A = this chain, B = another copy of it.
């Protein structure tokens, strides 16, 4: 067993105060005389007191825990988002209990149950496995990021604007046709906005375009194969034409770029490429890739802001009735590199 720990009772005995006074020293020190603060402060050192928050949680109900469920940490978007979420500890003081998703609903339900058992004060959910309606029913403040968010609050990149920016940039690059490749998404996902933004912009400017909605697979090998097929398709359908390609993310844009280079030895001037996210790969590619950048740190900060507002609301004596979910939109930033004009 670990050596017995010093508790408020010990400090109280040592200083001659009551446990209450010791508690007050921590929570409202100004209610003690300076002299007594001094005394207790010394006792803490003498006895080598180590804070124990478990008792506090039990008594107060405040855990300062936030649960996070993230689909994976393999994709840079997620790991960087988690990074930024963790960084908010400095400003908000909340600790994060992190689970990496299994896209299986019952497994994620188990995670959530576990989180609730620890009295977390709120959740940040990046995984899309569990419908927002169910998440809302758990009766804990929830903020979703880049997932279906009908019944919960959320913070997302302005995907529509992203689509507009991408189409806008490509349209200036003297292309014959603009092509957006993406998965065949349900329109409840924020990401679907990119497709609409792209299409609306092309139509508005009467620019010829094509939407290729297809699954590019989940592993690098699958991506490679699918994108190889894609290139063949494009070359067959638009031989010699100048093609402006808007890929669903930087990883796929990079695969696309590399396959072209492997095929032709360099990037043919009949291709313009733009990705999405501004992941490191977009910068580190042989030819740095233009991209619609997501402001991950801004998203993380806003998510914590929305969440902490909701968590604070619940701490009040008469919490306002559950408000409508809040949906925040963060503008993307167009980053021009070498794969577009």
Give A residues with C-beta under 8 Å from B: 1-3, 50-55, 57-58, 63, 72-74, 76, 79-80, 82-83, 86-87, 89, 95-100, 113-114, 116-119, 139, 220, 251, 254-255, 258, 261-262, 265-266, 280-281, 283-286, 314, 317, 319
Contacts and interface: CB of A to CB of B under 8 A. Distances in A.
B89 A83 contact: no
B265 A118 contact: no
16 contacts: A51-B116, A52-B119, A53-B117, A54-B54, A54-B57, A54-B63, A73-B73, A76-B79, A89-B99, A96-B98, A220-B283, A258-B284, A258-B286, A265-B266, A281-B281, A285-B286
Nearest to A78: B79
B99 A97 contact: no
A54 B118 contact: yes
Copy number in the complex reads 2
Given A98-B98, A286-B286, 16 more contacts: A2-B314, A50-B117, A53-B117, A53-B119, A54-B119, A73-B86, A74-B79, A74-B80, A74-B83, A79-B79, A79-B82, A83-B100, A86-B100, A95-B114, A254-B284, A255-B284
B97 A96 contact: yes
A251 B279 CA distance: 14
Query: Would you list the 6 A-B pairs with minimal beta carbon distance, nearest first?
Result: A79-B79, A73-B83, A51-B117, A86-B100, A73-B79, A53-B117
Contacts of A3: 139
A258 to B, nearest CB: 5
Q: Among A1, A55, A73, which residue has the most Cβ atoms of chain B within 10 A?
A: A73
A58 B56 CA distance: 10
A72 B63 contact: no
A287 to B, nearest CB: 8
Nearest to A68: B98
A114 B65 CA distance: 12
Nearest to A220: B283
A185 B63 CA distance: 41
A54 B58 CA distance: 6
Nearest to A114: B95
A55 B118 CA distance: 9
A123 to B, nearest CB: 14
A278 B269 CA distance: 32
Given A99-B89, A258-B286, A118 B80 contact: no
